[in-house]
């Protein structure tokens, strides 16, 4: 008795698809009317339909719309009411300005830079020499030191305003010739007629302009140090006397000593 095993039948391999026959040489290409393709946004192609531009809904939320139209930027939001500024009083550290106060003229004569050598390099500091006057016979000299130029100038002008002195003038010039001295500085001041002008230079000119003198002859005959020259000029101006003062001093009788 023979035993035979049945072998399962295998499916036949599919035959390869036949290649399309080449088109004849004289055949014409297909026209657009023969093949119709649905647009990508049409319902037939399965794409999302786009709304017309005019009917596009406005976006809402943060960052939408034009600048200043969002919900966080409402009209007047975050702004201080205008009435609050009117209710506030003047600042405590700023004294009220006097409208009748004379207008001061500030002139910077010289700015000196000082360098100090330290371990990490050099440190600079500045010193300013200033003259302040009202051009009506009042003048002052100030000196200030600081690590920055603006601070040094501010200190010098404030110092000058605290040391204002009054000098005697005769119109736009001085009443008589005078010789001023301070340390090594020596300055000669001589009156001049109208039209002469301010014949002075450097530190002497700054002091005379601040005092209000317009016609004068000057000569610096000593040290050229700025501090010495300005103080010598001020020393000469403080020696000035008017004719009435000299006459009163000469006619004053002194009681004899008992």
CA-based torsion, 198, 202, 204, 208: positive or negative: positive
Kindly report the number of other CB atoms within 10 A of residue 151's CB atom.
14
Neighbours of 200 (CB within 10 A): 21
Lowest-confidence segment of 15-19, 150-154, 235-239 by average pLDDT? 15-19
Look at the chain and count its residues: 258
List the beta bridge partners of residue 81.
none
Phi, psi of 13 (to 5 degrees): -65, 140
Q: Name the DSSP letter for residue 17.
A: P
Q: Where are the domains of the chain?
A: 105-245
User: 157 versus 253: which is more confidently predicted?
Assistant: 157
Indicate if the pLDDT at residue 243 is higher than 60.
yes
- Cβ-contact 106, 134 below 8 angstroms: no
Computed over every residue of the chain, the mean pLDDT equals 78
Distance of alpha carbon 9 from alpha carbon 22, whole angstroms: 38
Q: What is the pLDDT of residues 154-211, one digit of tens each?
A: 999 999 999 999 999 999 999 999 999 999 999 999 999 999 999 998 899 999 999 9
CATH 3.30.230.10 is right for the domain spanning 105-245: yes
């Amino acid at each position: 008795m023979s035993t035979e095993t049945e072998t399962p039948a295998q499916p036949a391999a599919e035959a390869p698809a036949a290649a399309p026959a080449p088109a004849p040489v004289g055949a014409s290409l297909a026209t657009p009317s023969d093949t119709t393709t649905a647009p990508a946004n049409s319902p037939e192609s399965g794409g999302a339909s786009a709304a017309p531009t005019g009917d596009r809904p406005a976006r809402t939320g943060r960052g939408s719309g034009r600048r200043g139209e969002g919900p966080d930027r409402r009209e007047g939001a975050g702004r201080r009411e205008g009435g609050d500024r009117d209710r506030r009083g003047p600042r405590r550290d700023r004294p009220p300005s006097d409208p009748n106060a004379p207008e001061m003229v500030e002139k910077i004569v010289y700015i000196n830079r000082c360098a100090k050598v330290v371990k990490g390099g050099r440190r600079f500091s500045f010193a300013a020499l200033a003259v302040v006057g009202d051009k009506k016979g009042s003048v002052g000299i100030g000196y200030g030191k600081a690590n920055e130029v603006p601070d040094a100038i501010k200190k010098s002008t404030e110092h000058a305003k605290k040391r204002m002195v009054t000098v005697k003038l005769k119109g736009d010039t001085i009443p008589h010739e005078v010789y001023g001295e301070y340390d090594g500085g020596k300055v000669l001041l001589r009156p001049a007629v109208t039209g002469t002008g301010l014949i002075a230079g450097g530190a002497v000119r700054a002091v005379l302009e601040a005092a209000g003198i317009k016609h004068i002859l000057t000569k610096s005959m000593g040290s050229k140090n700025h501090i010495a020259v300005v103080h010598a000029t001020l020393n000469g101006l403080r020696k000035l006397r008017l004719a009435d003062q000299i006459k009163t001093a000469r006619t004053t009788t002194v009681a004899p000593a008992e």
